[in-house]
Amino acid sequence: MKEFFLIAKIVSIYGKEGFVRISSFSDFPERFYNLQKVYIDFFDDKKEFFVEKVKKKKNDFLLKFKNFNSEKDAEIFLGKEVFVDGKDVVRLPENFFFIHDLVGSRVLRNNEEFGIIKQVLTFPANDVYVIDNKGKEILIPAVMSFIEKFDPVNKILILTPGGDFYDEDEN
């Protein structure tokens, strides 16, 4: 059975030639230039579509699917999610992880439950994990000095032993 990964959502039609504007969920937006085929969900069934052209307009990507050559043809895609199958997922270098793998992961520190990753904030220097620690949000930089190991299959992040994470607003 194929495994599918969500990479974008179709948000509007662009022009009269059948292009659609997408909202990317990918950590690697340049991946769209290399797409040859995608899967779009229709009634809980993934249908295969071939990508004919890719354009970039400002911060958005535009896709044109083969045999969909007009505004009217492309209307069927509005609001649909775009997937790739597992073999087309971008391969990450060691110690890099997909945001969708991190969110919802259990966090352990000193062999004890520390919290759950609620969100990943992306900044130029490094990402920051937002961890729900018994109802409190704790922000931890996503740098190797804080992370001992991440297991994406079991969704467990292990923080390096020791070290205190404190809230600067508390006394």
Mean pLDDT of the chain: 85
% of the chain with per-residue pLDDT over 70: 87
d(CA 96, CA 119): 16
Which domain-ending residue is among 40, 69, 88? 88
Query: In the chain, how long is the greatest CA-to-CA distance?
Result: 64
Residue 94 belongs to a domain: no
Residue 106 belongs to a domain: yes
Verify that 20 and 75 share a domain, yes or no: yes
Verify that 68 and 115 share a domain, yes or no: no
Are 116 and 102 contacting, i.e. CB atoms less than 8 angstroms apart? no
Verify that 19 and 81 share a domain, yes or no: yes
Examine the pLDDT at 90 and tell me if it is beyond 70: no
Residue 167 belongs to a domain: no
Verify that 14 and 56 share a domain, yes or no: yes
Residue 58 belongs to a domain: yes
Examine the pLDDT at 91 and tell me if it is beyond 80: no
153: domain CATH number is 2.30.30.240
- Please, which pLDDT band fits residue 171 given cuts at 50, 70 and 90? very low
d(CA 45, CA 86): 16
What pLDDT sits at residue 4? 82
Per-residue pLDDT reduced to its tens digit, 43-68? 888 999 999 999 998 878 999 999 99
Verify that 67 and 107 share a domain, yes or no: no
Backbone angles phi, psi at 125, to 5 degrees: -75, -50
d(CA 137, CA 155): 19
Which domain-ending residue is among 88, 118, 147? 88
Mean pLDDT across the stretch 111-116? 91
d(CA 76, CA 71): 10
Displacement of CA 109 from its chain's centroid (Å): 25
Which of 3-7, 103-107, 117-121 is predicted least confidently?
3-7
Examine the pLDDT at 121 and tell me if it is beyond 60: yes
What pLDDT sits at residue 165? 58
pTM of the model: 0.56
Verify that 153 and 115 share a domain, yes or no: yes
Burial of 103 (0-12, 13-18, 19+ CB in 10 A): middle
Residue 125 or residue 104, greater confidence: 104
d(CA 76, CA 80): 8
What is the residue range of 144's domain? 99-159
Verify that 62 and 116 share a domain, yes or no: no
% of the chain with per-residue pLDDT over 90: 41
111: its two tokens: 């062999």
Per-residue pLDDT reduced to its tens digit, 12-42? 999 999 999 998 877 677 778 888 999 998 8
Verify that 50 and 116 share a domain, yes or no: no
* Count of domains for the chain: 2
81: domain CATH number is 2.40.30.60
Verify that 10 and 45 share a domain, yes or no: yes
* N-term to C-term CA, the chain: 54
Burial of 11 (0-12, 13-18, 19+ CB in 10 A): middle
